[in-house]
Structure 1
Amino acid sequence: VNISGSFQERFLVPILANFTKQFPRLHVQLDFTDAQPDLVKESYDLSVAYGELKSSTLVARKLADNFNYLVASPDYLAAHGTPDSLEALNQHNCLVGVDSLWYLSNGEETVQIQPEGNWRSDNGAALLSAARCGLGIASLPFFSVMEDISQGNLTQVLPEWSQYPQPVWIMYPQQRHLPIKVRLFIDYLMEELNKIVL
């Protein structure tokens, strides 16, 4: 299985682990990559990735939508104030990831923001850690921050604005007869994800 992104780490890994417990004779190899591999050449049964799909001969099924929340720690907001508008983000230290622009939507309009700050990383876990430590405001997938928000470690900033959703896909090679292990896992994955409020 090839996976990438915070959605997959947060949800797919535990689901795959529980699936393997039910089928202990199943052998699992889990590879994390950012680039979409050639599933046939590299002998993957399936891949889970997010974003727009490139033209492909793969079968793709949508699992969910992934979108980002703006978040900061209560300590940061107590020290620097809570922004009450998108323009106010210019007065705050923003924690910047691989996307140099934030595309935020309130459901009616989409606005492009260029965040500025003293902390940049291409790693979502590093951005999450920096936000927890009170360094600034981050734009992070809601899958990776919803537990922190519920526990009070992070607060959603400008909750009416979030990054426009990106679809999460499960992909596998076209085959006349899909291997039973793949079909069973896809069914199990869809069933488990339906139990989660996405």
Structure 2
Amino acid sequence: MNTETQTASDFEFFILLAKLRSLSGAARALDLSPPAATKRLGVIEQRLGVRLVNRTTRSVSLTPEGETYLRYASQIVGQVREMEEAISGARRDPQGLLRINATLGFGRTSIAPLVSEFAKRYPSVEVQFEVTDRPVDLIEGAFDMAIRFGELPDSRLSARRIMSNRRFLCASPKYLEKYGTPERVEDLAQHRCIIHRQNDDAYGVWRYIVNDHIEAIKVKGALSSNDGDIVLRWALEGHGILIRSEWDLAKYVQSGRLHLVLPNTVLPSADLFVYYSRQKNQTARARAFIDFLISRFQAPFTPVETGVETRERKKRSPRK
């Protein structure tokens, strides 16, 4: 291997090491033995005459010289990849490794089938798809992207919106017949509410928007779960009032199995985003997958109608 090729290979090795913060993790990713990875780092440091990382038994952290090396290495590798894609991208399909993360339930039921479709369309792309119940650190986890509902979790990330997705209060007709329909947000405190526990959200605190300000109300109920499918099933069975996104609700509202509660109350939305690191240039395969996702989520459901939309349409309709 000539000097230029070895240097380029060292750049990619060090970028991976910096992402994973682990020599053993970098060794596994590159199919090296841990001693071989340690030796490789030592050779780079010896050539430069400086220490690039501080090592502990569990992880590594970059020295100031390591941060400088990483910055230049990332720029050079990114520019080389851009150059290669600019030259060859027009005549070949995307190829290489693509690492994607998504939420557990949504990833399994909705994203995994799309990964299957994408893999058939782009057989030269190797996809590693992981689902987790909590958000991941894209940079430390060496993921190309994560698919998540809600706001940007990290200032180091950029995002593209895949789908707008409002959230509503809802309940089954059976529940509303038995316990009545709330007329004001404050009435929710007296109702049986089904609580979906998510990450570190305060338990039983529901937020809503009034004049661009976030307000909160404490609710209670006999049932709670961290699984969205479970709480939706409980709402369908008449156990209480639930907050759920349009993605989950639309078909049940249209069939009459669930009714909107306080439909004009505005809740924080749960728009679907794909997040990716600002620190590296997107590859052709990552751009292809994001474009593919967005095309598949064009109007994925018939929007839920509230009384506001219906009244507005009647106003605009010409009188006969």
TM-score range, shorter chain: 0.7 to 0.9
- Give the C-alpha shift of residue 9 in structure 1: 5.9
Name the structure 1 match of 2:101: 2
Name the structure 2 match of 1:185: 289
Q: Is the 8 A contact 2:167 2:270 kept in 1?
A: no
- Give the C-alpha shift of residue 13 in structure 1: 4.0
* 1:32 correspondence with 2:131: yes
Structure 1 residue aligned with 2:167, among 46, 62, 68? 68
Q: TM (normalized to structure 1)?
A: 0.82
Q: TM (normalized to structure 2)?
A: 0.54
Name the structure 1 match of 2:312: none
Query: CA RMSD, aligned part only?
Result: 2.7
Mark the CA change 1:187 to 1:41 in structure 2 (over 3 Å): closer, same or farther.
same
- Give the C-alpha shift of residue 113 in structure 1: 1.4
- Give the C-alpha shift of residue 110 in structure 1: 4.4
Give identity over the alignment, percent.
29
- Give the C-alpha shift of residue 136 in structure 1: 0.6
Q: Is the 8 A contact 2:152 2:275 kept in 1?
A: no
Distance 1:160 1:9 in 2: 32
Mind listing any 5+ residue stretches in structure 1 that lack a counterpart?
none
Mind listing any 5+ residue stretches in structure 2 that lack a counterpart?
1-99, 304-320
Q: RCO higher in 1 or 2 (8 Å CA, sep ≥ 6)?
A: 1
Distance 1:165 1:151 in 2: 23
Query: Residue 162 of structure 1: SS of its match in structure 2?
Result: coil
* 1:128 correspondence with 2:227: no
- Give the C-alpha shift of residue 15 in structure 1: 3.5
Distance 2:207 2:125 in 1: 41
Amino acid corresponding to residue 182 of structure 1 in structure 2: A
Residue correspondence of structure 1 range 65-104 to structure 2 within 5 A: 65-98=164-197, 99=201, 100-104=204-208
Paired residues, number: 197
Structure 2 residue aligned with 1:48, among 138, 147, 159? 147
> Is 2-11 or 88-97 further displaced after alignment?
2-11
Question: Over alpha carbons, which structure has the higher Rg?
Answer: 2
